[in-house]
Amino acid sequence: MIREISVNEISDGKRYSARDLVRLGCHGCQGCSDCCRDQGTMIILDPYDVFSLCKALQTDFQSLVRSGLIRIQIVDGISQPGLAVRPYYVFEEQDGRKRPRRMDCCVFLNTEGRCSIHDTRPGICRLFPLARLYENDSFSYILQKDQCSQPDGSKIRIKNWLGIPELARYEDFVLRYHRLLQAIRPSAEEYQDAEYLRKLNFGFLKLFFMTPYHTKEDFYPQYDERVLRIRGI
Ligand code: SF4
Ligand code: SF4
């Protein structure tokens, strides 16, 4: 999701690469799952996330949508999938009485407050409390301040924090997917054309998500092959 905000406002102002050591350790998230709650109406997924999830759960995108684990919503003008959230209630003392307060948490957060798909969690979850900063047709990592509930832990190299195999290939994919979203984002005039939007969004979802990936094969060539077909949507 695109956010137009000042980097200095939300971070320490530094740009990091995956090789950098950053104070990211969060004491093993002991007893905490705050970043899995109240993070909006869904946790956005990219094609690599969907590929990894389908591979780990031995399922396909359509089944995940049908079972309510993935939902689809318009983000920055384009239909995108995300992990669904479900209501969750905490009881807080108010005027001497315990009152329920609704929060939304990710559907994969289990009753012990742990991620049930930790080894295959989406890129956005792996990043937290980092974020990606896109500028000059590239991206770097920034450390968001006041986001993690247990900050100031040990220094960790970003590539270890992310724990993604073949990180250079992944980062190349991330940048190219970002460019793709930018390129197909509807203009102000296209926003007025309901038929154009319908075709664009259906075509995008079908090409990059609904058409199953071969989960026993390498993800990246499959993604590249779909990019070549984008003109058809
Ligand atoms: S908010 Fe920080 S400590 Fe809490 S679960 Fe997320 S990363 Fe871990
Ligand atoms: S996938 Fe896991 S880490 Fe990500 S929000 Fe859901 S429960 Fe939290």
Instruction: Give alpha helix (H) positions in 45-138.
Output: 47-57, 61-66, 123-127
| Best mutation site among 27, 115, 150 for ligand 1 pocket (most ligand atoms within 8 Å of CB) | 150
The Cα–Cα gap between 90 and 72 comes to 27
Ligand number with the minimum distance to the CA of 126: 2
> Could you report the per-residue pLDDT of 124-177, keeping only the tens digit for each?
999 999 999 999 999 999 999 888 888 777 899 999 999 999 999 999 999 999
The Cα–Cα gap between 5 and 79 comes to 23
Q: Is the CB of 128 under 6 A from ligand 1?
A: yes
Domain ranges of the chain: 7-226
Q: Is the CB of 174 under 6 A from ligand 2?
A: no
pLDDT higher than 70, residue 2: no
- Calculate mean pLDDT across residues 92-104: 86
| Best mutation site among 34, 36, 124, 127 for ligand 2 pocket (most ligand atoms within 8 Å of CB) | 36
Output 80 or 77, whichever has higher pLDDT.
Answer: 80
Token reading at 121: 């969690």
pLDDT higher than 80, residue 180: yes
**Nearest Cα residue to 185 out of 95, 80, 110:** 80
The Cα–Cα gap between 115 and 97 comes to 31
Q: Is the CB of 223 under 6 A from ligand 2?
A: no
132: β partners: 141
pLDDT higher than 90, residue 103: no
The pTM for the full model equals 0.92
Supply the pLDDT for residue 85.
96
